[in-house]
Amino acid sequence: MTVRKPMKSRKNERGAVLLTTLLLMTVMAGLAVAIMDDIRFSVNRAVGVQNAAQADWYMRGGEAFAENWLNSLNSPNSNVADNQAGFAQIVLAQQPIVFPFGEGQDVDSGDLGIVVSDGRNCFNVNQLANSKTNKITRGLLADLLTFLQFDTLQAESFAASIQDWVDGDIIPEQGGAEDLTYSNKSPPYHAANTLMVDITELRAIEGITEDFYLQMRPFLCAVNDIKPNKINLNTLHKEQWPLLAILFDREDGEDEASAQAAQAVIAQRPLAGYATVETVWALPEVKALELKGVGKDMAAVKTDLVNLEIIVRLGGQTRRQQVSFSLSGDTGAKLLSRRKAF
């Protein structure tokens, strides 16, 4: 005699099989999605790494191009005066030289930009480490800060504190700050007592807040020597007149006359630039200051230090690099520094 299972039991078994099948499909679908996400992430990461490496090569290419161009400025086979005039126009434009790449080729499209600036058109704070001239240069820095709308006491205090940061001794100047000041901070630290590597070190100096730093930053720099920068009269922007005004500054405190003369020199500058420093000191606005040649040794009509910012845009990435070259008639362009910028 055959015994049959109840119909209800068979239906329960079919339902269990269906649920198990659906559960397995759900798990497999989830695993498939996770695997695809991992694959997509890996692909995007690989593309990003490839683009980053390619961007670095484009950046090196931009650097090589700039070096060749800078060498042409002092080439004996070309008109140096015309080249310097062309260089000045590029600096004054304050716009990047842009080179697009990749369009119509089997590579991602993007562009390379080079921003050129004159590395001498700033006050080198490291010259304050020169014990023979630091008193004079500290006064010039205080004058510069005064032209930047800092009050006199504040300007003198900042100038003294910056000197204390870069000079080799541990004795504070009047109004300055040395280890005793910084050791009482939280966390405590020491004054560097050596040359600044980067101008951003200003933020560590006593009293220089973020707002004060942003106010003085465009006019200060940290060149790796203790010599004063010779201001290039042909590449000064109109906003940089205070750098020239401190060369015109007189002992009688006529700051307004110095400021007006500096602004006039920049406004009246010929398109081809001034031929000599003497040409500027012979202008009526400058002669009226009765400088008797004072300040001429701190001015120039061509540069020997060029800063470049190289910008590469590729595959949704933007990479920046700052490069400095020295220029010499004997050795041409020489790489001084290279660093990533963020």
pLDDT on residue 341 = 77
**DSSP 8-state code for residue 256:** H
Q: How many domains does the chain have?
A: 2
Residue where a domain terminates, one of 166, 186, 219: 219
Report d(CA 333, CA 50) in Å as an integer: 31
Q: Is 75 helix (H, G, I), strand (E, B) or coil?
A: coil
Amino acid residing at 95:
Q
Q: Are residues 145 and 213 in the same domain?
A: yes
Let me know if residue 90 belongs to a domain: yes
pLDDT of residue 110: 87
What is the structure's pLDDT at 75?
65
296 occurs within a structural domain: no
Query: 33: exposed, middle or buried (C-beta count within 10 Å: 0-12, 13-18, 19+)?
Result: exposed
**pLDDT for 151-192, tens place per residue?**
999 999 999 999 999 998 888 999 999 999 999 998 999 999
Given phi > 0 = left and psi -120 to 50 = alpha, else beta, which region is 82?
Answer: alpha
**Last residue of some domain: 219, 241, 266?**
219
Q: Is this model's pTM higher than 0.85 or not? A: no
Domain termination residue (choose one: 177, 199, 219): 219
At 11 the three-state DSSP class reads helix
Nearest to 280 by CA among 225, 230, 220: 230
Q: Could you report the per-residue pLDDT of 17-65, keeping only the tens digit for each?
A: 777 888 888 888 888 888 888 888 888 788 778 888 888 889 999 999 9
Q: Per-residue pLDDT averaged across 218-237, rounded? A: 93
Residue 272: C-alpha distances to residues 48, 83, 174, 233, 234 (Å): 45, 10, 45, 12, 8
Residue 141 lies in a domain: yes
pLDDT of residue 280: 94
140: domain CATH number? 1.10.40.60
> Phi first, then psi: what are they for 100, rounded to 5°?
-75, 150
Q: Has residue 249 been placed in a domain?
A: no
Range of the domain at 308: 47-119+304-341
- Whether the predicted pLDDT of 14 surpasses 70: no
Which whole number is the average pLDDT over 298-311? 92
Model confidence at 332: pLDDT above 90: no
20 vs 277, higher pLDDT: 277
Q: Are residues 140 and 103 in the same domain?
A: no
Q: 112 and 181 share a domain? A: no
In a domain, 227, yes or no: no
Same domain, 171 and 115: no
Q: Is residue 146's pLDDT more than 90? A: yes
pLDDT at 93: 86
The reported pLDDT for the residue numbered 71 is 87
Share of the chain above pLDDT 90, in %: 52
Bridge-based pairing of strands 123-124 and 220-221 is parallel
Measured between alpha carbons, how far is 159 from 175 in angstroms, rounded to an integer?
A: 9
Does residue 161 contact residue 186 with C-beta atoms inside 8 Å? no
Tell me the average pLDDT across 267-290: 91
Average pLDDT over residues 217-231: 93
